[in-house]
Amino acid sequence: MKPLVSYFIVFGCMAHAHVPNVRRIKLDNKSTTRVLLGVSEESKGYRLFDPIVKRFIISRDVIFEEDKQWDWTET
């Protein structure tokens, strides 16, 4: 029996993390672009890095773009 690998995600791909309603105002974006670093060990979520602000977050509400990667030469 072959193992299922459909839930694997490419390391370093672009991720869009949802910003909750209480943390944004009327015309703010509903998501922020981040880089996937893996799965969190503390909770059920993904560990994401924001290269612009240089901060880590853990989020469960994420959409991935596995075919895109962050351009590290710009920052």
Give the integer Cα–Cα distance in Å for 68 and 18: 18
> Which of 56, 59, 71, 58 shows the shortest CA–CA distance to 13?
71
Give the integer Cα–Cα distance in Å for 24 and 22: 6
- CB atoms < 10 A from the CB of 46, how many? 20
CA distances from 21 to 3, 7, 30, 72 (A): 38, 28, 8, 30
Tens digits of per-residue pLDDT, 7-52?
A: 788 999 999 999 999 999 999 999 999 999 999 999 889 999 999 8
Prediction pTM value: 0.83
